[in-house]
Amino acid sequence: MKKWVCDICGYVYDEAVGDPDNNVAAGTKFEDVPEDWVCPGCGVGKDQFSPVE
């Protein structure tokens, strides 16, 4: 499982945790998160996230 960080606000999407508050189940890979999902921290789209190395 990988982690992805929002380039704008620093919110971290952890694939192991998902985003249960926004209907993304734990274990959901970032590429499988719906395209209309937005960062819970600042509202930007998935294209503003980078993988955590």
**What are the pLDDT digits (tens) for 10-45?**
999 999 999 999 999 999 999 999 999 999 999 999
CA atoms of 31 and 47, how far apart (whole Å): 11
What the chain holds in terms of domains, given with CATH numbers, is: 3-52 (2.20.28.10)
Distance of alpha carbon 52 from alpha carbon 22, whole angstroms: 21
Dist. CA 53–CA 42, nearest whole Å: 22
DSSP string, 9-20: T--EEETTT-BG
pTM, 2 dp? 0.94
pLDDT at 30: 98
pLDDT of residue 53: 87
Mean pLDDT value across residues 42-52: 98
| pLDDT above 90 (res 9) | yes
CA distances from 19 to 45, 51 (A): 14, 16
